[in-house]
Amino acid sequence: MADVQSTPHSPPAPTPESAAAPSSSAHNNDEALARAKALRQSYLPTRPYVPICPYGTRSSCPSSLACPEVHFQRALRPHTEPALGDCSYLNTCHRMDSCRYVHWVLEDPGKQVGEGVGKTREREVRREDEETLPPQWINADLRSLDVSMLGKFEVVVADPPWAIHQELPYGTLTDDEMMRMPLGSMQDEGGLLFLWVTGRAMELGRDCLAAWGYERIDELVWVKTNQLQGLIRTGRTGHWLNHSKEHCIVAVRKSSTDPNAEPRLPSWFNKGLDTQVILAEVRETSRKPDELYDMVERILGGRGRKVELFGRTHNLRKGWMTIGNQFGSSDQVFEQDIVANFAAKYPERGMKLLDPKTLKPKV
Ligand SMILES: [Zn+2]
Ligand SMILES: [Zn+2]
């Protein structure tokens, strides 16, 4: 798939306070908006952003070859029968080698980025690279891992293998196993949890939040688009209505000493920058949109620790710890405390402290 973002980052929305009181605190609002704009500016997407031309193809674009945006091209193969029209699965079709319907490819967005634009972006990406640790991961079964060895995290993202009635390409966990997950001990009061839920897990997830010591504060919805940036209408799941959205509950860790108290979020969390809706293209089965990582990073503004649970290789990301059971025997850890804790508790693993520059063991 081409390296292009399907949704532009929109300007920051006014905070709820500013919307409610337009006149009395206009000056404060200007300041808040300026702060929000500056923050957005320092968290530009790490991939070059090239818009997709609204005309879709060069042949229907009035500017044709002069248009600087990217366009779709038909990927005609010997077995394609153009008269049949578009394959409803587009680039997620499982039978590309025999499917007779039309599939599309996107022009290479790298070719569309002007010299100057490309250079600026490269510099920004590099600066960020220097400050952010490469992806860290630990291969572990969360049912048995002693998570106290990892320290506390300001943000946890989890896409659990819920036991929903649907065939999934990986093993699932029982409801009891999910309820016993040690999420609560990974966060202090005010820590944020982003929990993907689907089907009956929308209810089960809420039960788990109560068991883990969290309070639901919001909910994100991911509206799934297809390769041609239209709404998914023929999903592979859904018995009654076709599924074209997914839900992610946002919850906050309650105080462990006073669970009835209103949980307090750290004052330095950046609020009011994003919306509850993520509009993004579907990729591999169960893979979630990267836009959520961008959102979390804006909330944290470069501070705090963040971990993803039940992650796989495609979830690995700079500045994040990913824990999952599909990384084989390789861990990648740059934090000395964690390596020391593992050496004491699980010496047989032989976890090594790696150098973030060379990715080789530190001597
Ligand atoms: Zn165009
Ligand atoms: Zn097809």
First to last CA, the chain: 39
DSSP H helices in 140-288: 175-179, 201-212
Phi-psi domain of 208 (left: phi exceeds 0; alpha: psi -120 through 50; beta: other): alpha
| Ligand positioned closest to the Cα atom of 94 | 2
Nearest-ligand number for the alpha carbon of 86? 2
- Whether residue 90 is predicted with pLDDT greater than 80 in this model: the reply is yes
Percent of the chain with pLDDT over 70: 82
pLDDT at 111 over 90: no
In order of start, what are the domains of the chain with their CATH numbers?
52-107 (no CATH), 136-361 (3.40.50)
pLDDT at 15 over 60: no
Distance CA 255, CA 215 (A): 10
Q: How far is the CA of 227 from the centre of ligand 2 (A)?
A: 12
**pLDDT digit string (tens) for 43-63?**
665 566 788 898 989 989 999
Closest CA to 194 of 158, 223, 161: 158
Distance between CA atoms of residues 77 and 95, nearest Å: 13
Q: Which is more confidently placed, 239 or 278?
A: 278
In whole angstroms, what is the distance from residue 213 CA to residue 253 CA?
6
Residues with CB under 5 A from ligand 2 (ion): 87, 93, 99, 101
pLDDT-derived band at 304 (thresholds 50, 70, 90) equals very high
Q: Ligand 1 center to residue 60 CA distance, Å? A: 8
CA distance 251 to 254: 9
Task: Among 35-39, 236-240, 346-350, name the most confident range.
Answer: 346-350
- The pTM of this model reads 0.77
| pLDDT tens-digit series, residues 320-330 | 999 999 998 88
Q: For residue 209, give the amino acid letter.
A: L
Q: What is the mean pLDDT of residues 309-326?
A: 95
Tell me: the pLDDT tens digits for 190-244?
999 999 998 889 999 999 999 999 999 999 999 999 888 888 877 666 778 888 8
Location of structure tokens 């883990």: 212
Going from the Cα of 313 to the center of ligand 2, the distance in angstroms, rounded, reads: 26
Give the max Cα distance, the chain.
67
pLDDT class for 318, splitting at 50, 70, 90? very high
Which has the closest alpha carbon to 286: 237, 213, 359?
Answer: 237
Collect all residues with Cβ–Cβ distance below 8 Å to 275 and sequence separation of at least 6. Answer: 13
Ion ligand 1 contact residues with beta carbon within 5 A: 53, 55, 61, 67
Residue 9: pLDDT over 80: no
Give 54 Cα–ligand 2 centroid separation in angstroms. Answer: 23
Is residue 18's pLDDT more than 50? no
Which residues have C-beta within 8 Å of that of residue 13, sequence separation ≥ 6?
272, 273, 275
